[in-house]
Amino acid sequence: MSDLQSMDTLVSLAKRRGYVFQSSEIYGGTGSVWDYGPLGVELRRNVMDAWWSAMVHQRDDVEGLDSGILMHPRVWEASGHVEGFTDPLVECKHCKMRFRQDQLGASACGQKPSKAPGETDSCDLGEPRLFNLMFETFMGPVKDAAATVYLRPETAQGSYVNFLNVQTSARQKIPFGVAQMGKAFRNEITPGNFIFRTREFEQMEMQYFVEPGTDDEWFEYWRAQRLEWHRSLGIRGEKLRLTPHGPNELAHYAKTAEDIEYEFPFGWKEFEGIHNRTDFDLGRHQEYSGKKLEYVDSASGKRFVPYVIETAVGVGRTMLVAMVDAYREEEVEGDTRVVLGLHPRLAPIKVAVFPLVKKDGMPEIAEALHKELRAAGIPSFYDTSGAIGRRYRRQDEAGTPWCVTVDGQSVEDGSVTVRDRDTMDQSRVAASAVRAWVQERLGGVA
């Protein structure tokens, strides 16, 4: 059995099975945006539902919010993004290629084993220039400086400016959190590694407001919770690690920060950040808006600007981790079997139903079962085409945990075979019991 060796293998599986397509492919693609196909949108939705369930529905102390992508431009002055959300850009004077200075390492153009058109062997890099990552656009009919607005580079600021709205309307007491999922945009200098770094992406972020002095404790708490969440979705523990930011790496707002990293085929990389953002953001919004953003403790009358512990994870990166971690190749009877062993909670299709042959009463039983599963809210797929072995292999690649086959015996005694994707074991189950069998294994989550 072997893990994923190269991203190209996953990119082609993702396209073949309808997970991810290149954006605007017929025009040559954009290189920095990807589109999710029929299975991709289901995986994305399952990731987001699992996060929302763990972070909002299963807790009394976190409320949901959905704020706009476009915000008052002063928000981004207050947050420090206009001035400080920059990456150091360096350009080669010969080949004109651009790099992020802090990510040069082995990917600097002079050190690449094969050269792209225009690259020279020894690059002559110019002085670094700070490049702001925010996308600008214009609000209203007049395209002038006064109408400049930004596409948000993070969802967090929407939670800060709504802090008191949420707290008072939901009658929350500190500590409590505000969770948001939504699009964010960053004009990255070097997007790449498939859906790992894109210019348009989605985040799932939670801002937890705490009393100053209790922030270190809550930081530890959330770090452990978030790591556990990834494990609960089946991600292998040995492929996950926590890496604290050194003093020189900390963002302008952070007191402490730690990354949850995964070992991708291209190395250990961050896919979630846990940040102690102190009272920086609320304090700055107070200053820039002139409106108080204090919490008043009703019992003691104590007033303070809360500290914030943030958990921030990308939807696309979580999908990528799930797919990379799930991918494996196995030798089965001289053939290579490709399996996307996604956790059943994340799998786009939960069950595939096949009649062994298209006659002798088998399609009727199979179709009835498929409809029963669908009606129960279990994503089911009906397939009659090709040899049964090929149908199994297609579902293995798509990540479907169970395949149900209706055969000659089914017509006689009403039983069907259920095949497990991971073990390939087959067991006979009464067709009338399949729905409950699947529901039990999904733990109530369709």
Binding site for ligand ATP (CB under 6 A): 154, 186, 188, 197-198, 201, 203, 270-273, 312-314, 316-317
Phi/psi of residue 20, each to 5°? -140, 135
Closer of 32 and 162 to ligand ATP (Cβ): 32
The nearest distance, CB 198 to ligand ATP, in angstroms, is 4
* 172 and 6 Cβ atoms separated by less than 8 Å: no
Q: Give the whole-angstrom CA distance, residue 223 versus residue 273.
A: 9
- Measured in whole angstroms, the distance separating CA 14 from the mean position of its chain's CA atoms is 15
Q: Give the whole-angstrom CA distance, residue 43 versus residue 344.
A: 11
Q: Give the whole-angstrom CA distance, residue 401 versus residue 419.
A: 8
Q: In the 8-state DSSP scheme, what is residue 66?
A: -
The residue type at 35: D
Q: Give the whole-angstrom CA distance, residue 386 versus residue 219.
A: 53
Closer of 91 and 154 to ligand ATP (Cβ): 154
The nearest distance, CB 88 to ligand ATP, in angstroms, is 13
The nearest distance, CB 188 to ligand ATP, in angstroms, is 5
Closer of 319 and 438 to ligand ATP (Cβ): 319
Q: Is 407 helix (H, G, I), strand (E, B) or coil?
A: coil
The nearest distance, CB 96 to ligand ATP, in angstroms, is 23
The nearest distance, CB 203 to ligand ATP, in angstroms, is 5
Cβ-closest position to ligand ATP:
314
The nearest distance, CB 316 to ligand ATP, in angstroms, is 5
Closer of 51 and 209 to ligand ATP (Cβ): 51
Closer of 83 and 124 to ligand ATP (Cβ): 83
CB-based burial label for 171 (10 Å; 0-12, 13-18, 19+): exposed
Closer of 314 and 401 to ligand ATP (Cβ): 314
CB-based burial label for 109 (10 Å; 0-12, 13-18, 19+): buried
